[in-house]
Every structure is written in structure tokens, then in C-alpha cells.
Amino acid sequence: MNGPVERWQMAADAFDQRYKAIAKTQWEAATPCAEWNVHQLVAHAVGVQVSFGAALGSTAAEIADWPTARAAMAAALAQPGVLDGTVNHPALGDAPKAMLVGIATNDLLIHTWDLARAIGADERLPTELATAAYEGLKQLPVEAIRAPGRFDAAVEVPADADIQTKLLAFAGRKP
């Protein structure tokens, strides 16, 4: 399995593919996140990358667009020793840097599916990423996962559902 930086790159590639497929007429389209349209979903995804990237040395501004935020995060992640140690993040307190990359990756991955669903693009997520995200999210405290503004309640799926379906259902999506 790839490491945190490689998984982030895979998630960024997947999101980028859907981002580039957004038609001009789709920016106001509804998404699986009831409170967001496509524009708001992309702005959230960019904001997460900027916030977590800043803690890792990224220089993207809060008003960055996706290509800028992606390039800045990729540059930060390319620095030697970027995952060494901990960093103080406003929302998390002191946290391992690798954990920040994991959260940024998981957020980007789940919103890749949201974006794909909203614009009618390919909804398949990389299996390796879905597996890592699902296993990682299951380890977090319930109060952290289900807090307001995070994930809705998990959706029931059959025990033999594929990993992407399990991940999305755990994240409160209805795949």
C-alpha cells in the first residue's frame, strides 16, 4: 500500500479529474451534501486542503482555487521530512503531520464522490484509497465523526457491500 503522500496524490488526481469535468452550467447543481451546491463543495474541498496544507508548509491563500491549492499542497508534501513530528492545527490541537495528510486525503476522496454524483461523472473511487479511508475513519471517536458539520449518521448497507459502498455509507452518503 502507498504511503500518506502517495495516497493524497491519488485522491488529488481523482478530484482533479471530476473538477475538470464540471460544465459551466453545473456550478449551482445540488450535491449529496444537502447544504452545498457544486461551487460550495469545491470551495470546501479547497478550504480543507489550504487549511491542512498550511500546517504542513503550503503557501496557498484561503481564497485559492483548486489548481492553486493542489499545487501548493503538492509542493508542501514534496519537502523532505514533511511528515516528521507534530503540528498544532487550530481544529485539532497537536497532531501528527501524517494524520493531517490522512484527513485531507479522506476529505478530498469523499468529496470526489460527491462531486462526481452531482455532475454525473464516474463515481468509482480508487479501492486502495477507499480501504484506507474506511479503516482510518472507523478508528476515530464517534463524537469526532458525527459532530455538526462533519458526517451524517451512517447508512445501513449489506455486510458484503464493496469497500467504496461501505466507506460512503459510513460517511453518511447514500451510494
Domain carrying residue 86: 4-125
Is the pLDDT reported for residue 92 higher than 80?
A: no
Question: Is residue 147 predicted with pLDDT exceeding 80?
Answer: no
> What pLDDT is attached to residue 141?
75
pLDDT for 142: 78
Mean pLDDT across the stretch 128-136?
96
Asked whether residue 117 is assigned to any structural domain, the reply reads yes
Residue 117 sits in a domain whose CATH number is 1.20.120.450
- The verdict on residue 69 lying in a domain is yes
Using alpha carbons, list the distances in angstroms from residue 53 to 5, 73, 104.
12, 5, 8
Question: Which pLDDT band holds residue 157 (cuts at 50, 70, 90)?
Answer: very high
Q: What is the pLDDT of residues 158-173, one digit of tens each?
A: 999 999 999 999 999 9
Beta strands in 45-174 (DSSP E): 86-89, 93-96
- To the question of pTM greater than 0.75 for the whole model, the response is yes
Q: Of 63, 144, 139, 74, which is closest to residue 104 (Cα–Cα)? A: 74
Side-chain-side CA neighbours of 91 within 13 Å: the count stands at: 13
The tally of domains found in the chain comes to 1
- What distance in Å separates the CA atoms of residue 128 and residue 131, rounded to the nearest whole number? 5
DSSP classification of residue 121: -
